[in-house]
Amino acid sequence: MAEDAIAALEARIGHAFANRALLTEALTHSSASHGRAGAITYERLEFLGDRVLGLVICEYLYARHTSDAEDGLAPRLNALVNRGACARAAERADLGPAIVLSRAEAQAGGRGKEAILADVCESVIAAIYLDAGLEAARAFVMRFWASELEGASRARKDPKTTLQEWAAAQRRDGPRYEVIARTGPDHAPHFLVEAQVSGLERARGEGGSKREAEQAAAAALLKAQGVDD
């Protein structure tokens, strides 16, 4: 990137790099280095940035939502660190034009692809973290996740919480969950779970973990009752 382009990007993201090589690495897609042995791309930084982002968001939620238990915090976290949220943050920071792509990938619309934008956003977070520390990375996240954080304050409850509250309001016992079947190897199990609330037909759900299957079963039972989870 030209010097003026780098300076313009630094102004947009609110961070002037002491080590601009980190920024270049954070913006370089694998397609740009295809066939070059040992070429540096953003993939390692993306790995780190995902964890830095998770820490920043977890700390924010922990401090902001003091009355929420884990079941209340987890849906908010999932809503803030997924691919879509990262891609939207990248768009707010206008990272797309700065991404280094092969000509073919650029012509295929790579600068606007959600997956690439999300990856680059995480890699830029890591680059800022390595360049200036956690507080600098936090400043980037707070700036470009501002609207996402506001939305997370209104995040919907997970199906198990909704079902529990609904059952209590209806003066029904439960819910209770029973594992009906567990299949698959230890490293990739699959669960079939049944949700029960007194006086209602049971509902089943499946998932790759017991918790995931319980959530699916709760959602199925809510749907059967016409309740929006």
Reported pTM: 0.68
Residue 174, Cβ neighbours under 10 Å: how many? Answer: 16
What domains can you pick out in the chain, each with its CATH number? 3-152 (1.10.1520.10), 159-224 (3.30.160.20)
- Average pLDDT of the residues of the chain: 89
Q: Which of 25, 46, 50, 119 is catalytic?
A: 50
CB proximity list for 48: less than 8 A, separation 6 or greater: 126, 129, 130
Exposed e or buried b for every residue in 27-52, given b needs 16+ CB within 10 A? Answer: bbbebbeeeeeeeebbeebbebbbeb
State residue 162's pLDDT score.
82
State residue 153's pLDDT score.
63
State residue 141's pLDDT score.
97
State residue 229's pLDDT score.
55
Tell me: the pLDDT tens digits for 180-209? 999 988 888 899 999 999 999 999 999 989
Helix (H, G, I), strand (E, B) or coil at 160: helix
State residue 40's pLDDT score.
86
Q: What is the secondary structure of 47-61 as a DSSP string?
A: HHHHHHHHHHHHHHH
Low-confidence ranges of the chain (pLDDT < 70): 1, 34-38, 153-157, 228-229
Specify whether 50 is catalytic: yes
Q: Which of 25, 46, 105, 122 is catalytic?
A: 122
Specify whether 194 is catalytic: no
> Cα(first)–Cα(last) distance of the chain, in Å?
48
